[in-house]
Chain A
Amino acid sequence: MNIYINVLGNVSPQVTTDNADFLTEPVNKQDTSFACIDPDYKSILQKANLRRMSRLIKFGMYSAQQCLIDSKVENLDAIITGTGLGCLKDTEKFLIDIYGNDEGVLSPTKFMQSTHNTLSGQIALMLNCEQYNFTYVHRGASFESALLDGIMLIEEEANNILVGGLDELTDTYLAVTKRMKMWRRDAISQLDLFSNKQSGSIAGEGASFFMLSKEQSSTSYAKIKGLKILFKPKSIETIYGEMQALIQDAGLEMGAIDVVVLGMNGDQEQDKLYDELIERYFQDKQLTAFKHLCGEYKTASAFGLWTAAQMLGKQNIPEVLKLNKSASPILKNVLVYNCYNNSNHSLLLLQDVNA
């Protein structure tokens, strides 16, 4: 399998909209949640189209458009997105409208904008792209499902595919999930999330897009060598066994893996899984993490993939990502492992384009 990640687009709580830069100045906010830094939307999106867009659609469109502009791809073969909660803000607004007006005369725009496939549809509309168009909405496997579909399409006959993962934070979502004790009670500095493990993670959001291509280009960041999505695997041995199988299917061995990117989120219970994996299998590996930069959300793994692709493309691991200090000067093979809420697990193998 040779699928190239040729271009990236990323709007996140970090400075990530310039692909030349790779976390040289990490944002270290002290907060109870990490929201996206809003880019100048009007700089690359048409004004007229912005008026009905919620924040999610705006930063999703920006991220997708960034990918499209940089790739210069003219004939896109597919648009595939993954979103755990979809257009949450517009859903909430319409629900509030239903009760506020006792199911009376309601404004249709919010309803129309609240369907999960709004972003994929809007991108198609912007590009006048009549090709394959899909939206996956499966919790912590939403982005991975979209990625798997993209990989399959390229193996079929597609050349260039836009794949992205996105989710937004809303006040209501925060209020509700706080009651569910998903997050830390007090504000925390982003970069201290792992050094100070307690109950609860920190909520985040973002939109990360990738141009997947059959052919390598001058901007290629990495090759995808394998992807596996797991639902409630029985044990840690099962997970490790799947990792080994994925790596072997790519003709490699565990020893060839230079970096393991982990989706730990700072919650002491949920991170036990990662801690055990590290202790049993990855003691001698260079380990990195990413959720202290983007927060936890259902499609945060898309941000994780962005860090892995950047690492390989730039042959550099920013200090802010490192969990340990075993430096490997050459980066060839990177394994990304993410787990959402102890249910949705994903394994992704990336390789340097020149390997």
Chain B
Amino acid sequence: MSQKIFISGCGMISSIGNNVAESLDALLKLEHGIRPVEILETKHKGKIPVGEVRSSNEALIEQLGLQWKAGHSRTTLLGTIAAREALQNSQVDLKDGLRTGLISATTVGGIDQSEDFYKEFLKDPTKGRLRHISKHDCGDSTENIAEDLGIYHFVSTISTACSSSANSIMMGARMIKHNLLDRVLVGGTDSLTRYTLNGFNALKILDSEHCKSFDQNRNGLNLGEGAAFILLESEKSIRQRKYKPICELTGYGNSNDAYHQTASSPEGKGALSAMKIALKKSQLNNNDIDYVNAHGTATFINDLSEGNALMTLFNDRIPEIGSTKAFTGHTLAAAGSIEAVLSILSLKHGFIPPNLNFSQVMEEVNILPVKKLLTNIKIKHILSNSFGFGGNCSSLIISKL
């Protein structure tokens, strides 16, 4: 079970771009995707700032060349775009006899469709289009993507709140190590919905302005939407098709904070434990990590908790730290895989995007995130964090070949 896990392709869509190339361009030009709600039909339209993919469902369907009557949820549409790109990018032939799986992650599933259904159903229980509600569950988007791509060997879905897609990456890697799959497309997809927008609003953790991760005056998160997938491949698969992968997934760790249902422990015990497990798995030392793509949601408690965990772990030698949430918004289940793709770009092109909007170090913990775009730097190992409700904490380590 000691074999390597290669990353041979990636795809993503979010408020900073419809594909990987556009996303890279946006990061290098420091163009974030946070604006007041524009596409989502909600009372908060034009008010709450979010990271929205600025295409209507109709436009996404046209982009994909699908039939409108299939009635897909936005989560399916975003996921299919990113998954198709990842497969294309890795130049893999699914009919070469090797075993390919798909593990996706989502928190909202097709709830955007359920919202439309409920509006009618609540007025009259014989009303509401059944096609809408049949898309409600989380497995729906995954199965749609699997069938679109023709992946049948193993198909599953994970939902662990904001750490969901980091966990699908982890599960995929383990299935390769257990020789249950030769390669697996892993990632996650979540669309913006009235459900999540109003939910986070009710929890009073949405900033009414552009979010400020790790800043003393941070005031909450900006929600986002999007999807990202990466193709993980075994040594056997890479050898058989003589392909040069982009990089390697060397470590992963999963832990539970076991502190409170929604809030993280102030000292960040779950976060610390997940990072430690990932480091151990990768057989690297703290000193080997060049950059941490932090979870950094900009809520009061996450940044305090994560900051403390980072200080405890790295002690006197702190690597570059930054959150990319101010670029994309917090894309919930997709965040882990979107940030994995952004980390892959950092490795490949030797840059670290800045932690936007930072000006003042937190009183409680001395974390100084990356202030300006760093280019032409050598990066070998990146640690990427994703933490969520229910105490779910996950960390990934992505390394140069």
Direct contact of A and B (CB under 8 A): yes
By a beta-carbon cutoff of 8 Å, the part of chain A in contact with chain B is 79, 84-86, 91, 94-96, 98-99, 102-108, 111-118, 120-122, 124-125, 127-139, 141-142, 145, 149, 152, 155-156, 172, 175-176, 179-180, 229, 231-233, 298, 343
Chain B residues numbered 111-165 whose CB sits less than 8 Å from any CB in chain A: 111, 114-115, 117-119, 121-122, 125-126, 128, 130, 133-134, 136-140, 142-143, 146-147, 152-161
- B314 at interface (Cβ–Cβ under 8 A)? no
**Closest-CB distance, A214 to chain B (whole angstroms):** 16
B contact residues around A132 at 8 Å (CB): 254-256
Whether A84 contacts B139 in the complex (CB less than 8 A), given A94-B195, A106-B198, comes out as yes
Chain B 373-401: CB-based contact to A (< 8 A → 1; otherwise 0)? 00000000000000011111000000000
**Closest-CB distance, B361 to chain A (whole angstroms):** 29
Chain B 151-189: CB-based contact to A (< 8 A → 1; otherwise 0)? 011111111110000010001001100101000000000
Alpha-carbon distance between A15 and B338 when the two chains are bound, in angstroms: 46
- A-B interface, 6 closest residue pairs, ranked by CB to CB distance from nearest: A121-B390, A111-B199, A139-B139, A116-B159, A108-B202, A137-B138
What count of chain B residues pass the 8 Å CB interface test?
72
Whether A103 contacts B261 in the complex (CB less than 8 A), given A95-B114, A121-B392, comes out as no
Taking a contact as CB atoms under 8 Å apart, the answer to whether B43 and A231 are in contact is no
Taking a contact as CB atoms under 8 Å apart, the answer to whether A133 and B391 are in contact is yes
Chain B residues numbered 237-285 whose CB sits less than 8 Å from any CB in chain A: 254-262, 269-270, 273
Alpha-carbon distance between A104 and B156 when the two chains are bound, in angstroms: 36
Whether A137 contacts B114 in the complex (CB less than 8 A), given A84-B139, A107-B202, A112-B389, comes out as no
A125: contacting residue among B115, B152, B158, B260, CB under 8 A: B260
Whether A130 contacts B256 in the complex (CB less than 8 A), given A99-B118, A107-B202, comes out as yes
Whether A129 contacts B256 in the complex (CB less than 8 A), given A103-B42, A111-B199, comes out as yes
B contact residues around A156 at 8 Å (CB): 1, 174
Chain B 349-385: CB-based contact to A (< 8 A → 1; otherwise 0)? 0000000000000000000000000000000000000
B contact residues around A137 at 8 Å (CB): 106, 109, 137-139, 157-159
- Among A95, A102, A232, A298, residue most surrounded by chain B Cβ atoms (within 10 Å): A95
A contact residues around B391 at 8 Å (CB): 121, 124-125, 133
B contact residues around A79 at 8 Å (CB): 256
Taking a contact as CB atoms under 8 Å apart, the answer to whether B130 and A124 are in contact is no
Taking a contact as CB atoms under 8 Å apart, the answer to whether B159 and A115 are in contact is yes
Alpha-carbon distance between A99 and B117 when the two chains are bound, in angstroms: 12
A contact residues around B138 at 8 Å (CB): 86, 116, 137-138
Taking a contact as CB atoms under 8 Å apart, the answer to whether B139 and A138 are in contact is yes
B contact residues around A86 at 8 Å (CB): 138, 159
B contact residues around A172 at 8 Å (CB): 121
Taking a contact as CB atoms under 8 Å apart, the answer to whether A180 and B269 are in contact is no
Q: Can you report 11 residue pairs joining A to B where beta carbons are below 8 Å apart?
A: A95-B115, A103-B42, A108-B204, A111-B200, A115-B161, A124-B391, A134-B160, A135-B158, A137-B106, A152-B175, A229-B154
List 7 extra interface pairs beyond A99-B122, A103-B43, CB under 8 A: A95-B195, A111-B203, A130-B256, A134-B158, A134-B171, A138-B138, A180-B134
**Closest-CB distance, A60 to chain B (whole angstroms):** 13
**Closest-CB distance, B283 to chain A (whole angstroms):** 15
B contact residues around A179 at 8 Å (CB): 126, 130
Whether A96 contacts B194 in the complex (CB less than 8 A), given A115-B107, A130-B270, comes out as no
- B44 at interface (Cβ–Cβ under 8 A)? yes
A contact residues around B139 at 8 Å (CB): 84, 137-139, 141-142
Name the residue on A nearest B255 (C-beta). A130
Alpha-carbon distance between A138 and B143 when the two chains are bound, in angstroms: 9
Name the residue on A nearest B197 (C-beta). A103
Name the residue on B nearest A107 (C-beta). B202
- B91 at interface (Cβ–Cβ under 8 A)? no
- B3 at interface (Cβ–Cβ under 8 A)? no
- B201 at interface (Cβ–Cβ under 8 A)? yes
A155: contacting residue among B147, B178, B258, B388, CB under 8 A: B178
B contact residues around A111 at 8 Å (CB): 195, 198-200, 202-203
B155: contacting residue among A103, A105, A138, A180, CB under 8 A: A138
A139: contacting residue among B42, B128, B143, B260, CB under 8 A: B143
Whether A103 contacts B273 in the complex (CB less than 8 A), given A95-B118, A98-B198, A115-B161, comes out as no
Alpha-carbon distance between A231 and B142 when the two chains are bound, in angstroms: 11
Name the residue on A nearest B199 (C-beta). A111
Taking a contact as CB atoms under 8 Å apart, the answer to whether B156 and A138 are in contact is yes
B contact residues around A121 at 8 Å (CB): 256, 261, 389-392
Taking a contact as CB atoms under 8 Å apart, the answer to whether B262 and A152 are in contact is no
Alpha-carbon distance between A117 and B157 when the two chains are bound, in angstroms: 12
Name the residue on B nearest A84 (C-beta). B137
Alpha-carbon distance between A232 and B125 when the two chains are bound, in angstroms: 32
**Closest-CB distance, B140 to chain A (whole angstroms):** 8
**Closest-CB distance, A11 to chain B (whole angstroms):** 21
Whether A117 contacts B389 in the complex (CB less than 8 A), given A95-B114, A130-B269, comes out as yes
Alpha-carbon distance between A303 and B44 when the two chains are bound, in angstroms: 44
B255: contacting residue among A118, A131, A142, A298, CB under 8 A: A131
B contact residues around A298 at 8 Å (CB): 137
**Closest-CB distance, B130 to chain A (whole angstroms):** 6
- Among B111, B128, B134, B389, residue most surrounded by chain A Cβ atoms (within 10 Å): B389
B154: contacting residue among A106, A120, A133, A231, CB under 8 A: A231
